[in-house]
């Protein structure tokens, strides 16, 4: 049995997806990156769909990712898919979230699903919290503040294992264009392709 079939995880995911469906359909303005601006969307789930979650799970499993990093957990929908993959790969997930209310909700979700031994929540600004993590990162999911995709990637780049996968969500947002340009550059060390609203990149740099 894979962990997505675990009764506790499946039940919480079903509830979170139902609650996320009530989110207003709107783009988030992303013109600034101050701490005050980073937390102002705290009432929205901004969650991925079940199909996108299953894709994350499958990619992480196929990569046999043991060290997974998530930027922007929100209320933890994507976190559960990634945590399920991490548990099935006998690995771990480090996830980040800046909003205090969401951090509290994520901690409760992690506890209720029995994933406390798999998930480590880094609460606060990811530009600060991710600097201290170790290397050999196999899989990264970017789904936080879009203008921070590139700064976060730059922080994580020295920690990436050769062959790491990076999935970035909502890449048609104007604030994500600097990130897209960077990973699509032929000299970037990444091989990238666009899948709808997501950019999937393979880290092909062997000399780092």
Domain count, the chain: 1
Asked if 84 contacts 108 with a C-beta cutoff of 8 angstroms, the reply is no
Burial class (CB in 10 A: 0-12, 13-18, 19+), 134: exposed
The pLDDT value given to residue 20: 77
pLDDT tens digits for range 148-184: 999 999 999 999 999 999 999 999 999 999 999 999 9
Range of the domain at 198: 3-22+34-203
pTM for the model: 0.88
Please check whether residue 28 lies inside any domain of the structure: no
User: Residues 6 or more apart from 143 whose CB is under 8 A from it?
Assistant: 46, 48, 70, 71, 72, 74, 78, 168, 169, 170
Confidence of residue 21 (pLDDT cuts 50, 70, 90): confident
pLDDT tens digits for range 44-96: 545 688 999 999 999 999 999 999 999 998 888 999 999 999 999 999 999 99
The pLDDT value given to residue 97: 92
């Amino acid at each position: 049995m894979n962990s997505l079939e675990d009764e506790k995880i499946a039940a919480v995911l079903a509830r979170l997806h139902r609650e996320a469906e009530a989110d207003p359909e709107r783009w988030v303005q992303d013109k600034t990156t101050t701490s005050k601006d980073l937390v102002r969307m705290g009432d929205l789930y901004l969650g991925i769909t079940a199909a996108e979650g299953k894709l994350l799970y499958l990619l992480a499993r196929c990569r046999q990712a043991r060290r997974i990093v998530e930027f922007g957990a929100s209320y933890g929908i994507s976190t559960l898919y990634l945590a399920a993959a991490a548990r099935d790969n006998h690995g771990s997930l480090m996830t980040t979230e800046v909003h205090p209310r969401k951090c509290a909700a994520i901690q409760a979700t992690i506890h209720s699903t029995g994933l406390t031994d798999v998930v480590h929540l880094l609460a606060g600004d990811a530009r600060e919290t991710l600097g201290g993590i170790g290397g050999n990162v196999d899989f990264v999911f970017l789904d936080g503040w879009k203008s921070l995709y590139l700064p976060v990637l730059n922080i994580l780049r020295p920690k990436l294992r050769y062959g790491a996968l990076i999935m970035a969500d909502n890449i048609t947002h104007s604030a994500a264009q600097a990130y897209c340009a960077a990973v699509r550059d032929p000299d970037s060390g990444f091989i990238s392709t666009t899948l709808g609203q997501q950019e999937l990149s393979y880290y092909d740099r062997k000399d780092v």
